Structure 1
């Protein structure tokens, strides 16, 4: 008579695997938290808290009771400061000036930096390392120093450029009513063109060489390769440079502030940033300055969002065509 042994109990090994996965997820979340924690701390301390403070200040104003002999006190004024800013023709004129500045500066910066990067990447320029260094060096000069240098070059009686043009019977008033804005654009281009060129050049170095070799085999020349192959492949870098240039241009302050010392064509409220400075430190109206700052912030966010949506829409169209 034979007896059969009872079947051995089945052991499940899924539990240790699940435990390991949970442990790995926890470790990944902890690592992400440790890496992102300093960023969020700085983001809250440097951006969110100042923005919240400015928004809070924009709803208050310092008023003196009675005939103005008593101590000042902060009173809630609601949207009065915003209405005052939006109805001030000097602020609206400053916005118009910045719009003209962006329309002239943004295309010159993006196209100029891209063309220089394409020339360096094509191999036409010899000693590329030295060319990159020479083009990047102006960015290493602080903005204030750069504005002082160009102020010297723009001022009649001091500038060797104006003197040479005068000997050639060419009269140019760089600080005149028609040339002051192009003069400011020239300072910004001289300071930042090399920096953006380096960004584009680094993006071009990441383009696969196989794609370029295939374009050459298909008979594409250097110009067609640059326009039809390289430029679309570095589109994300172009969008990034355009967005950062736009944000920087909307905060126009250093160049006109220094040039205003030598020309009456630049007033103390030439740009929104100068308007904010004048309201806060000349007129001591911090509520008005805070309201103008919030309006400028909203305009910057709206334009940046518009550039992002436009770039994404263009990228989707290109993908659909392909």
Structure 2
């Protein structure tokens, strides 16, 4: 008579085995501290550069904007700093010359930005097309005006605009250095210099558009114009908005072109733009408090416009 097999615990035999997770090595306190010190050492040069070239000048400008230099007593003791609070800001905001400079810059931006962006996008799309030849040569030709220093370019255009010297005064239907013609002349100078720069930015962004998407569009029967408007431009929209932010800031800080044209015409005054207004207050009138207040207001306006453009960009992307 054989022995019967012992009964097995079915609940124990059928229970699945749970795999254990591998334990992660715990970093020691010394390693964590070493990594933090390494990160701080790598960020230190940038932090020092940011502090010395951005934060300290901004803080000093804010400090100067609250003071004014006035003669003490009968004037024999020289100038002394007097705390005026927001008096310099009120003087700048109430100055008609400052308001005229803002109006000139606004008119300049309303003409320059659409014209420059339209031209840069068209040239970039042409360079990105499959039918263009000598693409590198045309890219170099488009970028070449940006390589010319702004002062030299301004002198060249100033002589081209001058009556009796340059040919443009006889060709154009208006006087490029008159009251009504100096704004289009400055727009032409800035557009000529910056269009190639933005063309290269847009052309580089167009190179990142997936070829599969373009081939699918061609298979669906989309032509070159429809592909450019419906596929290429929407896909490089973030790049366009970033370029728009920098162009807006540059328009508010317009300085070189009107500064150079001042030597060719009396139409461009010393306060024709906000940057010229700050230059005149600081280095001609020696009114550092007013110049600092105008600088702070210009920086605040640039920051607000940049934030507005970025907000519109994020909303459009969503």
TM-score relative to the length of structure 1? 0.88
> Alignment partner of 1:18: what SS?
coil
Deviation of 1:69 after TM superposition, in Å, equals 3.1
Tell which deviates more after alignment, 36-45 or 106-115.
36-45
Matching residue of 2:7: none
Give the gaps of 5 or more residues in structure 2.
Answer: 1-20
Cα deviation code 1:260-300 (max 9, x no counterpart): 12212111100000000000111110000000000001100
Are 1:110 and 1:241, in contact at CA under 8 Å, matched by a contact in 2? no
Cα deviation code 1:51-79 (max 9, x no counterpart): 00000000111110223333111111111
- Separation in structure 2 between the aligned mates of residue 118 and residue 59 of structure 1, nearest angstrom: 50
1:90 counterpart = 2:97: yes
Matching residue of 1:174: 176
Counting only pairs closer than 5 Å after superposition, residues 188-227 of structure 1 correspond to structure 2 as: 188-227=190-229
Tell which deviates more after alignment, 222-231 or 31-40.
31-40
- Separation in structure 2 between the aligned mates of residue 51 and residue 240 of structure 1, nearest angstrom: 24
Report which of the two structures shows the higher radius of gyration computed on alpha carbons: 2
Counting only pairs closer than 5 Å after superposition, residues 1-322 of structure 1 correspond to structure 2 as: 14=23, 17-19=25-27, 29=36, 32-163=39-170, 165=171, 171-316=173-318
Q: Are the structure 2 counterparts of residues 27 and 226 from structure 1 closer, same or farther at C-alpha, using a change threshold of 3 Å?
A: farther
TM-score relative to the length of structure 2? 0.89
Q: Are the structure 2 counterparts of residues 35 and 240 from structure 1 closer, same or farther at C-alpha, using a change threshold of 3 Å?
A: farther
> Alignment partner of 2:246: what SS?
helix
Matching residue of 1:6: none
Deviation of 1:30 after TM superposition, in Å, equals 5.0
RMSD of the TM alignment (CA)?
Answer: 1.9
Cα deviation code 1:180-236 (max 9, x no counterpart): 101001110111111110011111111111111111111111001001000011111
Q: Are the structure 2 counterparts of residues 178 and 208 from structure 1 closer, same or farther at C-alpha, using a change threshold of 3 Å?
A: same
- Separation in structure 2 between the aligned mates of residue 28 and residue 182 of structure 1, nearest angstrom: 56
- Separation in structure 1 between the aligned mates of residue 150 and residue 268 of structure 2, nearest angstrom: 18
Aligned length: 298
> Alignment partner of 1:93: what SS?
helix
Q: Are the structure 2 counterparts of residues 173 and 129 from structure 1 closer, same or farther at C-alpha, using a change threshold of 3 Å?
A: same
Cα deviation code 1:288-318 (max 9, x no counterpart): 00000000011000000000001101111xx
Greater than 4 Å deviation, 4+ residue runs: 22-32
Q: Are the structure 2 counterparts of residues 13 and 19 from structure 1 closer, same or farther at C-alpha, using a change threshold of 3 Å?
A: farther
- Separation in structure 1 between the aligned mates of residue 44 and residue 230 of structure 2, nearest angstrom: 42
Question: In proportion to residue count, which structure has more helix?
Answer: 1
- Separation in structure 2 between the aligned mates of residue 47 and residue 179 of structure 1, nearest angstrom: 37
